[in-house]
Chains A and B, each alone.
Chain A
Amino acid sequence: MSVDLEKILRPIPAEMAPYEPKYMLLASGEAAVVRAVDRDEIPDLLKHVEPLLHVERDYYDVVASRVYAELLSHYQYRFQDQYVLAVQVDGELAAIVNGRQVTPTLGLSLHTLALRRGLRVGAHAFAAKMEYHFDVLGHDEVLIVAESPIGFRRWMIEYKLEKRFEIPHELGGVPSWALTRELFDAARSSLVVGRRPVPPEILEKAMEAILPPSDPPTPALDPLSATRSKYDPTATALMVERWAMEGGMQDA
């Protein structure tokens, strides 16, 4: 490919102010760091997103495949003004959020992908990205959609979003919802947390490397998979597999 053609294909980036890292304690008492991810680090994220393509529950497959495409095209200079934030606990990747700037006053939320569950990591990550849109980039409004019921409940109900159904969202062209500055300020005290600056030793650990998530979501066992096997039409193979996973029968 000629250099000139690449120039045409690459978007011209807008100026976007950097996101200053912050940290918060999770319910477990562990410290989670939220920080911006550089373009160079995108491949480190991709390898932890890829396994989630095959998690066919809670819309992990849909969200992960779209996040993968967004991150990859961001890395390959095929995305206009995308930013990526990561949440890390002790270096381990716990969540990824991304979005983009549409105009200097309008932001667009892309995805929130939680790799650690049960500790509201995803909620903290989403709040951080809204903080970036309003407090750092100075947007007046952010367009949002949810792909999973979990996301819908979190974002639409907790933040009491307004309808912007006349605007098709970039994710699949579905009707948009919007978080305005006013709504964000109202939610700020209860939903947006975090402390700055991040203590140096915690920040260093996070910046050093994006470590693999210790307990990522895994594919659901498909109770019908064995019935599809020509060798085992009765599904017993799957039950046996399950017992093996659980350590077998207790000795009588």
Chain B
Amino acid sequence: MAREIYAYKCRLCDTMHYPFRMVCKNCKQNDFFEFDTVPLPKEGKLLTFTRVYNLPPQYEVPTLGLGIVELENGMRMLGQLDIDEPKAGMAVKGSVEIVRQETYDGYYGMVFRSA
């Protein structure tokens, strides 16, 4: 089964949120946990990016690519980039993989590659 990262859709006004929040940013009306989960699209275009050279000690790689992607549905998300020479505006496709390893625990997040 392909792993997903979820957006949260308000049951009252249909506004989508990522990441999760307790109260809808648009209607501010929800009671407890009134959101439906909707998988975030995997395709999008790269809005901005960087390559980081000073990483937290948990990382054993010398550098890490990061970027903010504008997804097909207009939402944005931050993810790791597995792209040698990123360009703003390029088409990218994400997959959900382990993005951080703390002892035995892996944390899943989106890794984007050129589409």
Contacts and interface: CB of A to CB of B under 8 A. Distances in A.
Contacts of A158: 62
3 contacts: A157-B62, A158-B62, A160-B62
A158 B55 CA distance: 13
Interface of A: prevailing SS: helix
A27 B62 CA distance: 24
Nearest to A157: B62
For chain B, give the interface size range: under 10
B55 to A, nearest CB: 9
A145 B62 CA distance: 17
A191 to B, nearest CB: 12
Question: Which 3 pairs, one residue from A and one from B, show the smallest C-beta to C-beta distance?
Answer: A157-B62, A160-B62, A158-B62
A158 B62 CA distance: 7
Nearest to B63: A157
B53 to A, nearest CB: 8
Interface in A110-163: 157-158, 160
Interface in B51-102: 62
Contacts of A157: 62
Interface string A152-195: 00000110100000000000000000000000000000000000
Contacts of B62: 157-158, 160
Nearest to B60: A157
Contacts of A160: 62
A161 to B, nearest CB: 10
Interface string B26-56: 0000000000000000000000000000000
A165 to B, nearest CB: 15
A160 B62 CA distance: 7
Nearest to A149: B57
A158 B63 CA distance: 9
Nearest to B54: A153
Nearest to A159: B62
Nearest to B57: A149
A183 to B, nearest CB: 12
A45 B62 CA distance: 34
A35 B62 CA distance: 30
A250 to B, nearest CB: 37
A148 to B, nearest CB: 15
Interface string A32-76: 000000000000000000000000000000000000000000000
